[in-house]
Amino acid sequence: MEQPLANKIALVAGATRGAGRGIAVELGAAGATVYVTGRSTRTQRSEYDRPETIEETAELVTQAGGQGIAIPTDHLDHGQVQRLVERIDREQGRLDVLVNDIWGGEQLFEWNATVWEHSLERGLRLLRLAVDTHLITNHFALPLLLKQRGGLVIEMTDGTAEYNATHYRVSHFYDLAKTSVLRMAWGLAQELGPRGATAVALTPGWLRSEMMLELFGVTEANWQDATAHQPHFVISESPRYVGRAVAALAADPDRVRWNGQSLSSGQLAQVYGFTDLDGSRPDCWRYITEVQDADKAADATGYR
């Protein structure tokens, strides 16, 4: 089995579940050693109070063919993040791929609430979890990534820059969080590009995360049953799909061509040729624009 990322070291910050877990597993399948972080472990849970743990993610990475290493980390805690990076430096002496997937806001944002109606406490907490964590992680991790040329930083968000520029996303705080990360990736590209590294923003499509599957009362095996209640779920994708997008970027010797850009899993699938677990190539953001937002009947023909 080809492993183009053998001997590469990755850190997936926020890898407990969802896209972070899918990314970590696919980096492992490509042969990487992957440090996975989060606040939920087998002995303690984060405010999410969900069963997924970083130890499980690390085991999945190893099962896929890489080496998974779980390190409990609260990315708002400067000391914890500094110690995390120092450990990676001590054990590996390098960092090739940094994926900032920390989010933590699903239980905090209030749908369609104005800035004066939305809980200020919850909104500010959302911003801290979605934006401050990325800044703190970059502050401590980038000097290690820059020890050698060719490093890759991926800022995970929701929505492409093109889409978010003309669409208000869910609520004032959610919208600000997701567009901030897009701008963060662009800013990092200005700083990292001249130093031989690449930074991009990346969005999955409609993600079949553990929480989303649970919300619809389905599993990955029968996810299509959810389209009876939400027809546009037909365009959804597994977390492994965006994971394959990250692995493809990391393995591309010419990835600098993407520096500073806003990318999507569906877009990169067309370029690199990878598929989702079912062999399809969902192009969610084109579908959302041309079908869902256009009030057309749900039909993924030509979009996956």
Q: What is the pLDDT of residue 188?
A: 98
For 123-133, what is the mean pLDDT?
Answer: 97
* Helices assigned H by DSSP within the chain: 18-29, 54-64, 78-92, 120-127, 133-145, 161-166, 172-192, 210-216, 239-251, 265-272, 284-287
What percent of the chain is modeled with pLDDT above 70?
100
Q: By three-state DSSP, how is residue 37 classified?
A: strand
For 127-137, what is the mean pLDDT?
Answer: 98
10-19, 106-115, 147-156, 159-168: least confident range: 106-115
Instruction: Tell me which DSSP letter residue 276 carries.
Output: -
Q: What is the pLDDT of residue 37?
A: 98
Mean pLDDT of the chain: 97
Is pLDDT above 90 for 2? no
Distance between CA 15 and CA 215 in Å, rounded? 20
Q: How far is CA 19 from CA 79, 101, 211, in A?
A: 25, 7, 11
Q: Assign 3-state DSSP to the chain and report helix, strand, coil percentages, each to 5.
A: 50, 10, 40
For 224, the token pair is 């299509």
Q: How far is CA 291 from CA 151, 203, 263, in A?
A: 37, 19, 20
- CA-wise closest residue to 198 among 134, 140, 264, 260: 260
Contacts of 202 (CB under 8 A, 6+ apart): 154, 155, 156, 157, 242, 245, 246, 249, 262, 263, 264, 265, 268
Is pLDDT above 70 for 151? yes
For 151-176, what is the mean pLDDT?
Answer: 96
For 170-176, what is the mean pLDDT?
Answer: 95
Q: Is the dihedral of CA 70, 75, 77, 82 positive or negative?
A: positive
Q: Is 295 left (phi over 0), alpha (psi -120 to 50) or beta?
A: left
Supply the angle between the helices 54-64 and 18-29 in degrees, to the nearest 10: 30
The full set of domains in the chain, from first to last, is: 9-209+238-281 (3.40.50.720)
Give the tens place of pLDDT for each residue, 199-252.
999 999 999 999 999 999 999 999 999 999 999 999 999 999 999 999 999 999
For 175-182, what is the mean pLDDT?
Answer: 97
For 31, the token pair is 């042969």
Give the tens place of pLDDT for each residue, 13-26.
999 999 999 999 99
Q: What is the pLDDT of residue 1?
A: 64
Say what the pTM is: 0.97
261 neighbors 201 (Cβ within 8 angstroms)? yes
Burial 114-142 (b: 16+ CB within 10 A, else e): eeeebeeeebebbbbbbbebbebbbebbb
Q: What is the pLDDT of residue 13?
A: 98
Give the tens place of pLDDT for each residue, 67-109.
999 999 999 999 999 999 999 999 999 999 999 999 988 889 8
What percent of the chain is modeled with pLDDT above 90?
96
Looking at residue 137, its amino acid is T
Q: What is the pLDDT of residue 48?
A: 87
